[in-house]
A and B are shown apart, each in its own frame.
Chain A
Amino acid sequence: MSGFRFVTGPVAPEDYQAHLTDLSCGGFVSFEGWVRDHNEGREVLRLEYEAYESLGIKEGERIIAEARERFAIEHASCVHAVGQLELGQRAVWVGVSSHHRDAAFQACRYIIDEVKQRVPIWKKEHYRDGDSGWVNCEACASAGKHTPPSRVAGAG
């Protein structure tokens, strides 16, 4: 069983890994993204994730389908957290099972890289100094600027 989903709060892989079990599979690879205590030189206390879930699930499912087409895998799942997470908690989990290990390693890497670039999820960092900011948001590092955002054609 394959798929992409969101959960509120930290991801618990044991809830999902069993679905990837298959007696024809000799390899299983997983990736976990954890909440880290620093980013770009600042001390991070906790994170907040927000997602545009209806589009996010569609895009996540597309990424899983692409991985299944490109690599000789049997099953793949990705689960991403939304809401508040504390240091050390799992923000994202990817699991892939396949007959042979090479395909599982490659597919797992493909899925996490594409999810980070394409799925509409945003991360707000709360810092030790009391400040907070949305990651990858230009203006969030310099509040008060009011020049309009630049526009690009949509992906997909």
Chain B
Amino acid sequence: MKTIRIEYFAVLREHTGRGNESFSTGAQNVDELFAELNERYSFPAVGQLKVAVNDEFGDWQTRLTDGDSVVFIPPVAGG
């Protein structure tokens, strides 16, 4: 098991009701982590998500190690 710090923004923050959490998981990669979180939260269909691991863009196959931080990024709308 590893502990992953997850931060939520915008629609995902409102949906989960929290800005961040520490999550204990056996997930090997971002995709598996997302599946576990989706079981818990039933995320809404926000559109295409991107992902960041340790404050850099990653992809769904990025492997996770204990202490990593992960952010799921809903479609952006700056400007």
Q: Which residues of A contact B (CB under 8 A)?
A: 33, 49-52, 54-55, 58-59, 80, 91-92, 112, 115-124, 134-140, 143, 145-156
Contacts and interface: CB of A to CB of B under 8 A. Distances in A.
Chain B CB count within 10 A is highest, among A50, A134, A143, for A134
Contacts of A120: 9, 52, 71, 73, 76
A155 B57 contact: yes
B10 to A, nearest CB: 4
B9 A137 contact: no
B42 A146 contact: yes
A59 B71 CA distance: 15
Interface string B54-79: 01111110000000000111111111
Contact of A52 (B45, B58, B71): B71
B60 A151 contact: yes
Contacts of A143: 44
Given A58-B55, A152-B49, 14 more contacts: A80-B79, A115-B79, A121-B78, A121-B79, A122-B74, A122-B78, A124-B10, A137-B11, A138-B75, A139-B11, A148-B42, A151-B51, A152-B48, A152-B50
Contacts of B17: none
A52 B48 contact: no
26 contacts: A49-B78, A50-B9, A51-B9, A52-B73, A54-B55, A80-B78, A115-B78, A120-B52, A120-B73, A122-B76, A123-B78, A124-B10, A134-B77, A136-B75, A136-B77, A137-B44, A138-B45, A138-B75, A145-B44, A148-B38, A149-B45, A149-B46, A149-B47, A149-B72, A151-B31, A153-B50
Contacts of A135: 77
B23 interface: no
Contacts of A50: 9-10, 13
